[in-house]
Amino acid sequence: MIRETVRLALYQPDIAQNTGTLARLGACLGVPMDLIEPAGFDISDRNFKRAGMDYADRAIIERHISFEAFNEWRKANGHRLILGETDGATRYTDFVFQPGDILLMGRESAGVPSSVYEACEASVHIPQVDGTRSLNVALAAAMLVGEALRQVS
């Protein structure tokens, strides 16, 4: 049974299937999702619906028209913002997550700009084998959400 939870935010996602997959993850694990627009697709996209299946209808998805609007909203509601990025400062298993944390994932094509990086309270990385560039965003998000929930729930 899930008692406490975290949130998952996607920064201007490009690929409908990844967002649909994560909507399904959020629906199943009780993790609300914040979609920071503009996105490279609309959530009426059939690829989003196909990846999210019927679970997407059960997902709690808050849409934010810009990063600035999202950032104001999360600060006003007392959420810490924790960026997942390949060069994040702390190994994700060494980071102490708190209930209410928002895990922010970057755009598939470009991650996040430095201004977004700087707005975050902390950043974490999943260690990779030398010479590999990055994980798929949905898989990276699933690993971070799994670790955060293990700690807080």
Contact 93, 133 (CB under 8 A): no
| Closest residue by beta carbon to ligand SAM | 106
**Pairing outcome for strands 7-11 and 102-105:** parallel
- CA-closest candidate to residue 9, choices 137, 152, 135: 137
Tell me which of 86, 100, 142, 153 binds ligand SAM, using CB under 6 A: 86
Paired tokens of 127: 């260690």
134 binds ligand SAM (CB under 6 A): yes
**Distance of closest approach, residue 139 Cβ to ligand SAM, in angstroms:** 8
Residues with Cβ within 8 Å of 76's Cβ and at least 6 positions away in sequence, in order, are none
128 binds ligand SAM (CB under 6 A): yes
102 binds ligand SAM (CB under 6 A): no
Q: Rule CB under 6 A: which residues touch ligand SAM?
A: 84-86, 88, 105-106, 108, 110-111, 125-126, 128, 134-135, 137, 140
